[in-house]
């Protein structure tokens, strides 16, 4: 099944640009896989994150495409962010950074140029959280322009994204053609010792995303816009 998602976010620059379309792998979760650290995921609004975003009234063509499943309903709101913390992780930010996971400082070359890894503000930029089972801590790459997990810690999920709200992993920038590229997990999430605090065997958390290309038959097209 192919379905379109409008993703209202500017928070993933430079990995994604406004107007990009990405292919989302929905097959992996059906086989028991879950998001990994470093993956870019599309997820349903967990608890009013986009409550103040305007809803554009669709035209007749858009309503028809929504009816046949090639475009989302105008009521549907989804987001796209990078997974930073998985169940059991401790994630923290102090001052301008660096961002730490399980006590390990992350080298984050994907962070938007001119941004700092952490934001020294009182709204949620300074934090230390432990990710519970079945949930994920997400952050945008455009750190100073992303209302992500940090700024929703007072919601019913404490800023976390529940696993059942995850649509899938964004794997390819498919449009425009000049921007075609894959969205791999950055090497920073492979650094030694990142799993040590969890008592995990290196590589165990990486198995969920190791999906052969032949399993990419079912995809979701996501339109990435602003918001």
Torsion on CA atoms 93, 97, 99, 100, rounded to nearest 10: -80
> What is the Cα–Cα distance from 125 to 127, expressed in whole angstroms?
6
Name residues whose C-beta falls within 8 Å of residue 101's C-beta, 6 or more positions apart in sequence.
Answer: 37, 84, 85, 89, 90, 91, 194
- Of 46, 8, 37, 7, the C-alpha closest to 23 is 7
- Contact assessment for residue 35 and residue 169, using Cβ atoms and an 8 Å cutoff: yes
Q: Which of 11, 66, 119, 146 is catalytic?
A: 11
Tell me, yes or no, if 11 is annotated catalytic.
yes
Quick check: is 104 catalytic? no
Determine contact, residues 198/88, Cβ cutoff 8 Å.
yes
> Of 26, 77, 81, 135, which residue is the catalytic one?
81
> In this structure, are residues 82 and 39 in contact, taking their beta carbons and an 8 Å threshold?
yes
Active site residues: 11, 81
């Amino acid at each position: 099944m192919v379905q379109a998602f409008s993703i209202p976010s500017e928070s993933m620059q430079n990995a994604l640009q406004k107007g990009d379309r990405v292919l989302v792998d929905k097959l992996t979760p059906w086989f028991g896989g879950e998001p990994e650290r470093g993956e870019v995921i599309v997820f349903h609004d967990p608890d009013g994150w986009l409550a103040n975003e305007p809803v554009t009234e669709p035209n007749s063509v858009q309503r028809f495409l929504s009816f046949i499943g090639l475009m989302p309903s105008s009521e549907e709101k989804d987001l796209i962010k990078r997974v930073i913390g998985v169940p059991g992780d401790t994630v923290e930010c102090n001052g301008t950074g660096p961002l730490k996971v399980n006590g390990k400082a992350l080298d984050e070359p994907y962070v938007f140029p001119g941004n700092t890894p952490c934001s020294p503000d009182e709204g949620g930029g300074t934090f230390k959280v432990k990710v519970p089972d079945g949930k994920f801590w997400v952050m945008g790459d455009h750190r100073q322009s992303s209302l992500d997990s940090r700024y929703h810690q007072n919601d019913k999920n404490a800023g976390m994204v529940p696993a059942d709200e995850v649509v899938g992993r964004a794997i390819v920038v498919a449009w425009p053609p000049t921007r075609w590229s894959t969205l791999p997990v950055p090497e920073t999430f492979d650094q030694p010792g990142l799993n040590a605090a969890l008592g995990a065997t290196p590589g165990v958390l990486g198995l969920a995303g190791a999906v052969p290309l032949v399993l990419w038959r079912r995809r979701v097209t996501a339109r990435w816009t602003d918001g």
